[in-house]
Each structure stands twice: as C-alpha cells, then as structure tokens.
Amino acid sequence: MRNILLIFRKDFLVEWRSKQIFPTMFVFSLLLLLVFNVAFEFRSDVDSRAVSAVIWITFIFSGLLALGRSFSLEKENNAFAFLLLTPVSRSYIYLGKLLSNVVMVLLSELFILPLFLLFFLFDASGVSFSLTGTVLPFLGVVFLGTIGFVSLGTFFSSMALNTKLRDMMLPLLVFPLIIPVVITSVGICSSILEGRPPDYYSFSLQVLVSFDIIFILLCSLLFEYLIEDSGD
C-alpha cells in the first residue's frame, strides 16, 4: 500500500511541477465540447441520452490523451527502467500508476462538468437537480466509469508506447475493450438525468462495478508479463 502511494506521490509531483497533462486535458475537453455544441446545435430541447453520450465521449477521449502522456513521460531519460529497478512487485507499479492516472483524470473531469452544466443542461427541460437525487449518484457513476476505462487505458498505454505504431495503437486497443463501460455509464447517467429511481439502473451499476474489479485484478496480474523486458 505504501509503495502504491509513493508512486502516486511521484507522479503527482511531476505533474504538479510540469503542468503538462492537466491543462492539455482541460483545453481538449473544452474544444470537444465546442465541437459537439456546433455539430449538434444543442438548444434547450436536449435529450438526456445525447448529453450523457457527449459527456462520456469527451471524458474518454481526453482521458486517453492524458494516459498516453503519462507513460511517455516515463520514457524520457529512461525513467521507467529505473522505476522497474525498485524492489517492488510489478503489480504495485501498475496500481500506483493507475491511482495517479485516475486522480488526474477525475480532477479534470470535475473541472469540466460544471461547464457541461452551463452549456447543455442549464435550460434543459425536465431535468431537476437535487444533491442526493442527481448530483451525488452522477458523480458516483463518473467515478466508477473513470476507473473502468483508466484501468485498461493505463495498462495498454504502457504496451502501446513500446510498439512500432506508438500512440496510434492506444485507442485501437482500448476502445473495443471498454464498450461495457460506455454502454453502462451512458445508460446510468441518462437514467439519472431523467430522474429515474435507482432500481431502474441497478443492473447496469452491477455490471460496471464488476468490470472495474475484473480488469483491475486482471491487469495487475498481467502487468508483470507486459513489461518483462521493454528493451527489444
């Protein structure tokens, strides 16, 4: 546990001082938002399904951008090789990277969400806001969904960087695998916005939580094989 936190602290400090990933993600999300706005001509008659879809597409695209960066930082000065030299199980290295990536992606999502509110939901009809009924469940789903796609994203960004195709490879590897996250997260978010009771989406929630657990376990197990010798 201490090792995971140490790696987390290292990554966070690097980001805090260099300020590379966070602003990039934020501006990128903002641009996506603008593009969606222009493309869909969203007015006040928005559909909660479409809004949820737009939110998650923005999160996933900007999130993957950040993830690609997080491992290419390690490549500079061969930092990753030194990280591997530390007498820590490889699984902990994965979990530490996962933790720092989740926190970073979540933070920028938290900054972007109010803007969504402003652009899309401000004068949407039929959406009522209450702290316990809408806001907290919504944030919960954002949290779980983010863990879902970042767990696979973190894993595969370290693989993609070592392939010939590099950054090209990451979305190719991750998008088909995170389909369950997309289906469940968008579904739950739109149900919440429509003000449906929790029973209505409890099954999706179970699927989402299982996805998170399965792939965090599987990825931390397989991480050892992934980075055996990054040399060749």
Would you count residue 152 as binding another protein (CB under 8 A)?
Answer: yes
What's the gap between Cα 111 and its chain centre? 14
Which lies closer to another protein via its Cβ, residue 33 or residue 219? 219
Tokens of 54: 């737009």
As to burial, measured by CB atoms within 10 angstroms (0-12 exposed, 13-18 middle, 19+ buried), residue 63 is: buried
Which lies closer to another protein via its Cβ, residue 79 or residue 214? 214
What dihedral angle (degrees, nearest 10) is formed by the CA atoms of 53, 55, 58, 59?
Answer: -110
Would you count residue 226 as binding another protein (CB under 8 A)?
Answer: yes
For the CB of residue 179, give the shortest distance to another protein in the complex, in Å.
5
Which lies closer to another protein via its Cβ, residue 42 or residue 71? 71
Q: Which amino acid is at 126?
A: G
Among 53, 139, 207, 209, binds another protein (CB under 8 A): 207
Whether the Cβ atoms of residue 14 and residue 89 lie closer than 8 Å to each other:
no
Would you count residue 144 as binding another protein (CB under 8 A)?
Answer: no
Would you count residue 199 as binding another protein (CB under 8 A)?
Answer: no
What's the gap between Cα 226 and its chain centre? 21
Would you count residue 232 as binding another protein (CB under 8 A)?
Answer: yes
Would you count residue 151 as binding another protein (CB under 8 A)?
Answer: no
Measured between alpha carbons, how far is residue 185 from residues 51, 122, 143, 163 in Å?
12, 21, 10, 30
Among 37, 78, 163, 202, binds another protein (CB under 8 A): 163
Would you count residue 180 as binding another protein (CB under 8 A)?
Answer: yes
Which lies closer to another protein via its Cβ, residue 62 or residue 158? 158
Among 2, 17, 43, 164, binds another protein (CB under 8 A): 164
Would you count residue 3 as binding another protein (CB under 8 A)?
Answer: no
Measured between alpha carbons, how far is residue 106 from residues 82, 87, 167, 228 in Å?
28, 29, 22, 30
Residues 6+ apart with CB under 8 A from 158: 71, 97, 223, 226, 227
Q: Note the residues at the interface with another protein (CB under 8 A).
A: 152, 155, 159, 162-165, 168-169, 172-173, 176-177, 179-180, 183-184, 187, 203-204, 207, 210-211, 214-215, 218-219, 222, 225-226, 228-229, 232
